[in-house]
Chain A
Amino acid sequence: MSLSTRHLSVGYHQKAIVKHIDLDLPEGKIIALLGPNGCGKSTLLKALARLLTPMQGEVQWQGKALHEIPSKQLARQLALLPQTQPIPEGIKVKDLVAYGRSPYTGFWGRTNQTDQDIIHQVMQETGISELAEQLVSELSGGQRQRVWLAMTLAQDTPYLLLDEPTTYMDLNHQVELMHLLRRLNQQGKTIITVLHDINQAARYCDHLIVMKEGQIIQQGLPSDVLTRELLKSVFSLEAQIHQDPIAKTPMCVVE
Chain B
Amino acid sequence: MLLISWLSLFTWSSITISPLDALQALYQFDQDSIAQHIVRDLRLPRVLVALLVGACLAAAGVIMQGLTLNPLASPSVLGVNAGAALGMALVSTITPWFGLLGTTVAAMIGGGLAWSLVMLLGSGWRTGNEQGRLVLAGVAISALCAALTKALVIIEEDQASAVITWLAGSLTDARWQTFDAFWPVAVVGLLGASLLSPSLNLLQLGDDNARNLGVSIGCVKLIGSFLVLLLVGASLGAVGSISFVGLLVPHMAKLLIGQDHRRFLPIAILLGASLVALADTLSRAIIFPMETPAGAILALIGAPFFIYLVRKKTL
Contacts and interface: CB of A to CB of B under 8 A. Distances in A.
B198 A71 contact: no
Interface string B254-266: 1000111010000
Contact of A89 (B201, B208, B213, B259): B259
Given A51-B208, A79-B212, 6 more contacts: A85-B206, A86-B128, A90-B259, A102-B198, A102-B215, A103-B213
Contacts of A100: 213
Given A86-B128, A89-B259, A102 B202 contact: yes
A109 B195 CA distance: 10
A187 B143 CA distance: 60
Point out which of B198, B202, B205, B212 has the most chain A C-beta atoms below 10 A from its C-beta. B212
B33 interface: no
A210 interface: no
B208 A102 contact: no
A102 B260 contact: no
A103 B214 contact: yes
A82 B209 contact: yes
Given A88-B204, A99-B202, A109-B198, A75 B259 contact: no
Chain A interface residue bracket vs B: 20 to 34
> Which 7 A-B pairs give the minimum distances between C-beta atoms?
A75-B214, A109-B198, A72-B214, A90-B259, A103-B214, A102-B213, A71-B216
A76 B215 CA distance: 12
Chain B interface residue bracket vs A: 20 to 34
A74 B214 contact: yes
Nearest to A154: B213
A111 to B, nearest CB: 11
Contact of B211 (A51, A96, A155): A51
Interface in B48-105: none
A214 B86 CA distance: 51
A82 B213 contact: no
Interface string A47-65: 0011100000000000000
A95 B260 contact: yes
Interface of B: 128, 194-195, 197-198, 201-202, 204-206, 208-209, 211-216, 254, 258-260, 262
A215 B196 CA distance: 41
Contacts of B206: 85-86
A71 B209 contact: no
A86 to B, nearest CB: 5
Point out which of A73, A88, A105 has the most chain B C-beta atoms below 10 A from its C-beta. A88
Interface in A87-129: 88-91, 95-96, 99-100, 102-103, 105, 108-109
A132 B225 CA distance: 34
Contacts, number: 65
B208 A82 contact: yes
Secondary structure of the A side of the interface? loop
B214 A86 contact: no
Contacts of A72: 214
Contacts of B215: 71, 102
A44 interface: no
Contacts of A95: 260
Contacts of B204: 88, 91
A99 B194 CA distance: 17
Contact of B212 (A80, A86, A88): A80
Contact of A108 (B198, B211, B258): B198
B212 A51 contact: yes
B134 to A, nearest CB: 17
B313 to A, nearest CB: 11
Contacts of B213: 75, 99-100, 102-103, 155
B37 to A, nearest CB: 43
A80 to B, nearest CB: 5
B214 A102 contact: yes
A152 B201 CA distance: 16
A72 B197 CA distance: 16
28 contacts: A50-B211, A51-B211, A71-B216, A72-B214, A73-B214, A75-B212, A79-B212, A80-B212, A82-B208, A86-B205, A86-B206, A86-B209, A88-B205, A88-B259, A89-B259, A90-B259, A96-B205, A99-B201, A100-B213, A102-B213, A103-B214, A108-B195, A108-B197, A108-B198, A109-B198, A109-B262, A155-B212, A155-B213
Contacts of B205: 86, 88, 96, 99
Contacts of B198: 102, 105, 108-109
B130 to A, nearest CB: 15
A96 B195 CA distance: 20
A105 B214 CA distance: 11
